[in-house]
Amino acid sequence: MPAGSRPGTPQPAFFIGGDRIIPPSRVHLDAGPVANRAIIPMPHLRRMSIRMSFAMPVALLSAALFLGGCGGETPAPKAADAKAGAKAPESKAGPGQGGPVPARVLEVSPQRVPIRLESVGQVEGSREVEVRARVGGIVLKRLYNEGEIVKAGAPLFQIDPAPFEIALAQTKAQLAQERARNEQSRRESVRLKELAAQKAISQREYDDAASNLKLSEASIQVAEARVSEAELNLSYTRVNAPLTGVTGRAQRSEGSLVSTTDSLLTTISQIDPVWTRFALSEPEVSKLPGGRLGGDAEIRLILGDGSRFPTRGKINFSASQVDARLGTRQMRAEFENSGGRLLPGQFVRIEVSVNRTQPAFLVPQAAVLQNEKGHFVFTLNGENKAAVNPIAVGEWVGEDWTVLSGLKSGDRVVLDNLFKMQPGVAVQPLAADAAKPPADGKQAGGK
């Protein structure tokens, strides 16, 4: 009896039986005679817990010796073991061993599965130009807002026109002089022609007058060309947009001096339509019919936020050679961009979809396994027994694998409980859209 306890006072106790320690609250639930179990008072059990942390067999032996010293009855170990062994439940074969394994099964059929490839692309304007000054001078004014869309012919910059206006006036004056000389040469030629007819002058004098008239006419043409050049240079002082597009940042501010050798003012990119450059690796290109993208290819564009661009693109360029450094072929697609949502320099994802020449099968990714020999699936024969079926796979389509070979129409592919599948295992086929069977193979609601 523990020290400090009064006779007749019930003490909390634990029961040790077989390999278990049973708390007081569970004593009435345990079956079997008390004679086969050892009763340990609570205080002694607390002291025993310290020794039990080192070794359970030593703790149990100490408890038995303690109970023997207190006069408690301790069952013989051999008898207890024999009785415990007699009460051990017999193991039964589970469903995966003695009965069919429930599993969902998909009956496959060939279908037109497109070839889908994905790449990273970058947007660029279909036409990108550098706006440069064609004459030198001081930039007086910027006539547009940076980054806005301008129409072709819209004014962008104004260069100081004064020097060119003066040059134009000078060339016009030179043209007037040449015309006056021409009139004088013409009159001289007419007069000498009459005198030469009368033999009043030598023929040479008349020939000189006729030649001077032609030289004067040529000088007029030169003066007229100089006037046209001066007018053109004057028109260049107003820099206009060469095409419709979005403008870039101004490279020169008002008051800057520009020259014909350092003349970049801004850039303009035509963004409707836009072009998108991307590349496909050589293995990806080899999957395409004929090894090239045709006009029937569907090109879709995915923006940075994951949304799809509403319009489809079309291929307008495919490189005729492979980049030796990267092993890729450059491609370019054209997209309508009337809303201006795509901007030059923007990174996007490109999805290429091409129709296959041969039908294929779609099998959920979870049903496709892989070993050192390649990919395979479990299929069912006529007796609903599992069999290993090697397959050749293509790319992913959503949550499915594209199976190129190894299956035929009507094959039944096992979708789940694959960890229990082995060649020859009996399977209880369930519909592909049925609830997934439990992993332990028990039917829903079973015990």
pLDDT in tens, 114-133: 888 899 999 999 999 999 99
Residue 225, amino acid? A
The pLDDT assigned to 440 comes to 55
Q: What is the mean pLDDT of residues 69-84?
A: 41
Residue 69 has pLDDT above 80, yes or no: no
pLDDT in tens, 231-243: 999 999 999 999 9
Predicted model pTM: 0.58
CA angle 187–193–197, rounded 5-degree value: 155
Residue 378 has pLDDT above 70, yes or no: yes
pLDDT in tens, 128-151: 999 999 999 999 999 999 999 999
The pLDDT assigned to 383 comes to 92
- pLDDT bin (cut points 50, 70, 90) of residue 439 is low
Retrieve residue 276's tokens: 């998108």
Point out which residues pair with 315 in neighbouring strands. 333
> Rg of the chain's alpha carbons, rounded to an integer?
49
- Tokens 């073991």 correspond to what residue? 81
Name the DSSP class of 338: T
- pLDDT bin (cut points 50, 70, 90) of residue 446 is very low
Q: Is the dihedral of CA 200, 203, 206, 208 positive or negative?
A: negative
Q: Pinpoint the residues of the chain covered by CATH 2.40.420.20.
A: 101-112+359-430
- Tokens 């051990």 correspond to what residue? 88
Retrieve residue 386's tokens: 């599992």
Residue 360 has pLDDT above 50, yes or no: yes
Q: What is the mean pLDDT of residues 334-351?
A: 92
Q: What mean pLDDT value characterizes the chain? A: 80
- Tokens 């086969």 correspond to what residue? 36
CATH number for the region 269-354 comes to 2.40.30.170
The pLDDT assigned to 98 comes to 59
* 260 Cβ contact list (under 8 Å, min separation 6): 133, 134, 135, 136
Q: Pinpoint the residues of the chain covered by CATH 2.40.30.170.
A: 269-354
Parallel, antiparallel, or unpaired for β 427-430 and 101-107? parallel
Residue 77 has pLDDT above 50, yes or no: no
Residue 229 has pLDDT above 70, yes or no: yes
Residue 198 has pLDDT above 80, yes or no: yes
Where is pLDDT greater, at 41 or 231? 231
CATH number for the region 101-112+359-430 comes to 2.40.420.20
Residue 222, amino acid? V
C-alpha 75/C-alpha 73 separation (Å) is: 7
63-77, 214-228, 261-275, 380-394: least confident range: 63-77
pLDDT in tens, 392-406: 998 888 889 999 999
Q: What is the mean pLDDT of residues 153-165?
A: 96
Residue 441 has pLDDT above 70, yes or no: no
Q: Pinpoint the residues of the chain covered by CATH 2.40.50.100.
A: 134-258
Q: What is the mean pLDDT of residues 312-332?
A: 91
Residue 34 has pLDDT above 90, yes or no: no
- Provide the greatest CA pair distance for the chain: 177
Choosing among 2.40.50.100, 1.25.40.20, 3.30.360.10, 2.40.30.170, the CATH entry for 134-258 is 2.40.50.100
Residue 251 has pLDDT above 90, yes or no: yes
Residue 35 has pLDDT above 80, yes or no: no
